[in-house]
Structure 1
């Protein structure tokens, strides 16, 4: 591909980046619980939430491969920087490899709009603070300052070199503090946050000054700084913050009015594994989710697992919810170094609450539809977890009271055996519906709807052979009563007298003249 000067610059394949030696796994993930899942490929060591974030960051509904998706926006960024002469060909490969490395290590990436290619949206870049922990539990200040510089350069290119304010920020301060063994609501934690904010601003303005050296300064360098803490709980962090501020102050000018701004989180933070945005405190050391069986289960957060691995099981308490005053104190500690006001919290931190239990599956049931003595009857039997009878519902146009069915269900719920009800209602004459039974090959004749219903239940839940031995079909003449119609003769469906026909004279008197 050629730039405006005619020289070509190669775009490194993602296989030549840190992704090249990384094993990938395929999963199906959805950005929202109600959305259709899509196939995604991500590093084998990454969690399921990263798959959901990847599904949200990619447009369309087809399969997504994380290295290829990252290669897409990185190639667009490098191409834009080269075409606008904001980036020379020698720096293009270095910046592309640095961006791939930040994403692959889950240390940083641009916001969701850049992944989706939304050119008109204001870009942002977020750095995941816990990802900069070193093996001994310290903080890699040098790598963090370098990442801030990459973020500033990337956002300047994404804005076409025209933006005077950039939005570089960090995420998951609460997770970092817990990994360091510090309570969020403590002086030591606020000192660490102040040093981090000072390091971020100093590194960002130093990067802005390097761009100004190539393209021209638009803003004067700051001469006065808030005084960061002389020391903090993280070895070397306070000194690194002071060096970054001194380097930025010694520059000849800046390209941007501001670079350091905390923003609301989106799917980019979720992809990086950050569990809180900016300086927000944690909601608790555990999260609630549904397991494979649909039951609600309690699992520790990533921050809690990390803190317990470094400091023991008791470190999970460091992620307990804090009062609103604690967040306000943290904001006061970092705000002197921000180029823009910190966004208001989306919600006041509250203790984590369990998910609502999953909707239980419908209880198994059996339904029979028959005709007893010319009358339609529907019987539904709902089963208990052990396969026994839990309750019944009986629908008929004749002689079955809802109160009777309700009383039977109450008895079943309190352990009354079904055989007691069969003995009480079998062969009983309850209402005029009696005679031949159509639709039930096991019961051919019934003395009433209840007779058929409870003998049917005895067959279904006591075994047909045993039930037929105890409760055989009665003789046809026993099924018929004086009130029951003969088989095949339904008779009038409503036992009401027919209205008398008025005489012709009466009908004429009812006429009205309408003008």
Structure 2
């Protein structure tokens, strides 16, 4: 491990903390610059390999020393340049302007390394953008990636992050012509600076790729002062190179812990996550302004950081893609707006019941029942030997009882009204050991229902009540009303008839 004495680390005040990469991870002992927020500490815990204590200087020196050693061995870095490049990479990290991706921090040798630049970190206090510093950061990123590949890699991945935060800081909406012009200028400057550095390496080590014959045209002007001219100059410098060392240089990627370490709130050209973010405090979860909201002009936060449509995303992608060597990754799916919870649906009615078959006075009768949760809801009769008129009458009667049961009429009321009803057929009941005889079909049916659903065993009628000569037989019953026969003869209506020839 390289010594920290005599480097930029020597004057950096560190604070110590314990935090995990996420709320469920065990905490690690960490040391990082005192002014960096807890989110950066959690990002460092995720980036540093292992689970033991870690400090930012030691973790960063692991990849700085590796890149310097490999680049020196490959001849892309001279001994004199090594000191300058090491300090330049440290300065980018300490200013939170740039850093390699998570695969470099973790020492993942099989993964393609990348270097990301945090665009809002190049905003100047007076409101401008450090164009020279950004172009130099692009060159430093290419130098680092080439060195990590020992000068052999032809495909490098230099990208930028938090374009939305930059736009909010300079007061332009993501979905605006001005915002897209700034994005095009940044992408053009990134490509020009990256290819010009690849051209410098080609001069030293030999060109492997020709300079592109067709260049994407950078914007003629942008709302950001000097950006269009800087992009044009960088592309012209790259075009003057004898050739390029790399076939691919500029590629955006999904964010990982490296963006969080730098303080970038969005990946690449993704829109801003919003005006507030949730943080955990000693008193619970609370919403605090995002960094983009703190940079945005007062009174315009809502307009600059509101929701962005898919059309605006596509327009931004179409604006930036011509300046990239690899198309940007598909945006992360945005969750749909919350929908009101659907009203609970009533469960399907599931009924159970039984069919009882008996013979009453030699007439076959079937009683069907339906119930819900043990409560009688429906009855129906089937009579085999009766006339159509009688069957229709019984069907209508059963339907009316079923409607009453469904409306809450107690079964006991029906039992009281129709038990011992006298009309044919009547007589001995066969097939029901609990009710040996009945005065009618309704008598048997409702005494059976009382027994099954009310637990009431009603007294049986006497034998003479169900005999053929009993008044229970409808054909032998006297009229219920005292109707007297007329005493005078009815007039002969035939006298009113007329024969028409």
Same fold (TM over 0.5): yes
Deviations 1:170-205 (A, max 9, x none): 000000000000000000000000000000000000
Conservation of the 8 A alpha-carbon contact between 2:29 and 2:54: yes
* Aligned ranges 1:60-99 → 2 under 5 Å: 60-99=50-89
2:313 paired residue number: 327
Measured after TM superposition, the shift of residue 349 of structure 1 is 6.8
1:399 paired residue number: none
Measured after TM superposition, the shift of residue 316 of structure 1 is 4.8
Please identify, of 13-22 and 204-213, the stretch whose mean Cα deviation from structure 2 is larger: 13-22
Conservation of the 8 A alpha-carbon contact between 1:261 and 1:342: yes
In 1, Cα distance between the equivalents of 2:206 and 2:29? 46
Deviations 1:191-240 (A, max 9, x none): 00000000000000000000000000011112322221111111001100
CA spacing shift, 1:53–1:350, aligned 2, 3 Å = farther
> For 2:121, which of 113, 131, 149 is the aligned residue?
131
In 2, Cα distance between the equivalents of 1:16 and 1:347? 47
> For 1:148, which of 127, 131, 138 is the aligned residue?
138
> For 1:337, which of 283, 300, 323 is the aligned residue?
323
> For 1:255, which of 245, 260, 271 is the aligned residue?
245
2:263 equivalent to 1:273: yes
1:24 paired residue number: 14
Deviations 1:315-356 (A, max 9, x none): 353111211111110000001111001101122277899xxx
Measured after TM superposition, the shift of residue 149 of structure 1 is 0.5
In 1, Cα distance between the equivalents of 2:219 and 2:113? 31
2:303 equivalent to 1:314: no
1:305 paired residue number: 294
- Runs of 4+ displaced beyond 6 Å: 349-353
Q: 1:16 is paired with a residue of what secondary structure?
A: coil
Conservation of the 8 A alpha-carbon contact between 2:158 and 2:249: yes
Q: 1:19 is paired with a residue of what secondary structure?
A: helix
Conservation of the 8 A alpha-carbon contact between 1:169 and 1:263: yes
Consecutive unaligned residues in structure 2, runs of 5 or more: 340-501
In 2, Cα distance between the equivalents of 1:350 and 1:285? 18
Deviations 1:247-305 (A, max 9, x none): 001111000112000011111000000000000001211012332122x3111111111
> For 1:231, which of 221, 229, 232 is the aligned residue?
221
2:33 paired residue number: 43
2:466 paired residue number: none
Consecutive unaligned residues in structure 1, runs of 5 or more: 1-10, 354-515
CA spacing shift, 1:350–1:289, aligned 2, 3 Å = farther
TM-score, normalised relative to structure 1? 0.64
In 2, Cα distance between the equivalents of 1:96 and 1:289? 35
1:174 paired residue number: 164
Deviations 1:20-51 (A, max 9, x none): 22211111111121100111111111110000
Give me the CA root mean square deviation: 1.7
Conservation of the 8 A alpha-carbon contact between 1:203 and 1:244: yes
Conservation of the 8 A alpha-carbon contact between 2:101 and 2:113: yes
1:403 paired residue number: none
Deviations 1:358-383 (A, max 9, x none): xxxxxxxxxxxxxxxxxxxxxxxxxx
In 1, Cα distance between the equivalents of 2:302 and 2:127? 16
Measured after TM superposition, the shift of residue 162 of structure 1 is 1.6
2:334 paired residue number: 348
In 1, Cα distance between the equivalents of 2:191 and 2:235? 7
1:195 paired residue number: 185
Measured after TM superposition, the shift of residue 313 of structure 1 is 4.0
* Aligned ranges 1:389-428 → 2 under 5 Å: none
CA spacing shift, 1:352–1:31, aligned 2, 3 Å = farther
Measured after TM superposition, the shift of residue 19 of structure 1 is 2.5
TM-score, normalised relative to structure 2? 0.66
1:282 paired residue number: 272
> For 2:23, which of 28, 33, 43 is the aligned residue?
33
Please identify, of 282-291 and 31-40, the stretch whose mean Cα deviation from structure 2 is larger: 282-291
Deviations 1:381-415 (A, max 9, x none): xxxxxxxxxxxxxxxxxxxxxxxxxxxxxxxxxxx
Deviations 1:102-139 (A, max 9, x none): 10100001001111111221100000000001121111
